[in-house]
Amino acid sequence: MQTERAIDPTASKPTHAELHGRDLPLDTRFKLSEAITQQQREFLEHNGYLVFSQVASPEEVEQLIAEGDRIEREWLAEGREKIFGIPLFKGLGPDGEPRIQRLPFTSCHSDFIRDLVRDQRFAPIRSLVGSQTRVGDQEKDGVVMNRYFNAPGTVYGRLGWHTDGLRDLFYLRVPQQMLNVGLHLDRIRKEDGGLRVIPGSHKQGFVGFLTKKAYFVSHKADPDEVVIETEPGDLTVHDGRCWHRVEASPHHGMRSLRRSMYVPYLTDEYQPKHEGSKTPAYHYLAKAARMAKLAWVKRRNG
C-alpha cells in the first residue's frame, strides 16, 4: 500500500534566484548584468517582456531630456515637418505652445544619444536580438523619443491596443519575434497611465494576432493586462508580438508628462533612410487624424 509522503514544514522554499522564469511574479524587476541569465530568458519567453532597474544613471536621464528639448527647439525653429520621410507628431503643450511629441531619428542629431545606445552595458540586450546586431540610427524610425501628456492640444496622449506585426499579417504571415527596447525617463505608476502589456499574448496564433483587439481603436482595459511601472533610467524589453497599449494619464499639464526613448536593434537587411525617403502610407492616415484633432481643439478654444 502506497502512503503519501509527509510534507516537511521546515523545508525551505526556493529563493527568487532559484525559481524558473515562468514562475516569477509578473511585476518582477531584474538587474542588468554582463549577460542575460537563463531565468531572464525564461521570463521573456513565457511572458513577452522584461523590466531592468536603473540601467541609465540620473545624470544620463537628465542629459537625454535636455537633448530631446534641444532637438525639438531646432526642428520647430526650422519648421521641420518630416525627418527622413517620417512625419513629426506636432501638437500643443500644456502651456499652449507648439510641441513635438514624437521625435524620430534622434541619434542622428545628438552625439550623446548616438554614443549612449552603443554603450557596452547594452550588449546583453543586443544579444537577445541576435549575434550580429546593429543600431538602426537611420532605419525604420530610428531612435525615437516619445512624449505623452494630457493637455487640450495634445495629439499623442495615448496609444490603442496593437501588436507590431501588421506588415506580416498583411502578407498572411504569422509575425516573427521583434523586441522593443525602451529607456524610461519618468517615474510611472499605475495611476499615471503608461505601458500595458498582455503577458503571453506573443504566443497567440494568426487569428489571435488579427482579431483579439481592434488595432489602435480599442483602448479598453483588459483583465489580463499588466502595468509596466518604471523609474527614471529603467529599461524595458517587450516582444512586439504582444498586445500592448499606452494608457492616457488622468493628470493634466506637466504632471501628466511621460517620456521614453526606444532603440531599434536590428539584424535584418540594412535599409537606411534619407531626406528623400517616401513617407509610409499609414503615416498619412495618422497625420490626418492628428491634424483633425488639433483643428477641433483650436475651434473649441477659439
Indicate the pTM of the whole model.
Answer: 0.86
How many whole angstroms separate alpha carbon 151 and alpha carbon 252? 6
Range of the domain at 131: 27-268
Q: What confidence score (pLDDT) does residue 123 get?
A: 96
**Residue 283: inside a domain, yes or no?**
no
Question: In the chain, what is the greatest distance between 2 CA atoms, to the nearest angstrom?
Answer: 86
Q: Name the most confidently modeled range: 26-40, 147-161, 275-289.
A: 26-40
Q: What is the CATH number of the domain that holds 72?
A: 2.60.120.620
Q: Above 70 in pLDDT, residue 26?
A: yes
How many whole angstroms separate alpha carbon 146 and alpha carbon 251? 18
Q: What confidence score (pLDDT) does residue 131 get?
A: 86
What does the pLDDT average to over 202-227? 90
Residue with more model confidence, 183 or 15? 183
**Residue 210: inside a domain, yes or no?**
yes
Q: What confidence score (pLDDT) does residue 299 get?
A: 64
Number of independent structural domains in the chain: 1
Residue with more model confidence, 151 or 244? 244
Q: What confidence score (pLDDT) does residue 268 get?
A: 85
What does the pLDDT average to over 163-171? 73
Strands (E), the chain: 49-52, 82-83, 86-87, 89-92, 98-103, 134-135, 144-150, 159-162, 179-184, 194-197, 226-227, 235-239, 244-247, 253-263, 265-266
Average pLDDT of the chain, as a whole number: 87
Smallest CA-to-CA distance from 47 within 158, 203, 247 is with 203
How many whole angstroms separate alpha carbon 219 and alpha carbon 159? 8
pLDDT in tens, 46-105: 999 999 999 999 999 999 999 999 999 999 999 999 999 999 998 888 888 899 999 999
How many whole angstroms separate alpha carbon 117 and alpha carbon 97? 30
Q: What confidence score (pLDDT) does residue 150 get?
A: 86
- Is the Cβ–Cβ distance between 89 and 156 less than 8 Å? yes
Q: Grade residue 263 by pLDDT with cuts at 50, 70 and 90.
A: very high
How many whole angstroms separate alpha carbon 174 and alpha carbon 165? 8
Q: What percent of the chain has pLDDT over 70?
A: 86
**Residue 179: inside a domain, yes or no?**
yes
Q: Which residues pair with 184 in a beta bridge?
A: 260
Q: What confidence score (pLDDT) does residue 14 get?
A: 59
**Residue 282: inside a domain, yes or no?**
no
Q: Grade residue 4 by pLDDT with cuts at 50, 70 and 90.
A: very low
**Residue 70: inside a domain, yes or no?**
yes
Q: Which three cell numbers stand for residue 155?
A: 495629439
**Residue 302: inside a domain, yes or no?**
no
Residue with more model confidence, 123 or 3? 123
Q: Above 50 in pLDDT, residue 3?
A: no
Q: What confidence score (pLDDT) does residue 24 get?
A: 96
Q: What confidence score (pLDDT) does residue 289 get?
A: 58
- Order across the sheet with 49-52: list the strands: 49-52, 235-239, 179-184, 253-263, 144-150, 98-103, 89-92
pLDDT in tens, 237-253: 999 899 999 999 999 88
Q: What confidence score (pLDDT) does residue 2 get?
A: 43
Could you give the dihedral angle defined by the CA atoms of residues 193, 169, 40 and 161, in that order, rounded to the nearest 10 degrees? Answer: 10
CA angle 287, 292, 298 (to 5 degrees): 125
**Residue 207: inside a domain, yes or no?**
yes
Q: Which three cell numbers stand for residue 140?
A: 525604420
**Residue 221: inside a domain, yes or no?**
yes
Q: Grade residue 1 by pLDDT with cuts at 50, 70 and 90.
A: very low
How many whole angstroms separate alpha carbon 158 and alpha carbon 244? 12
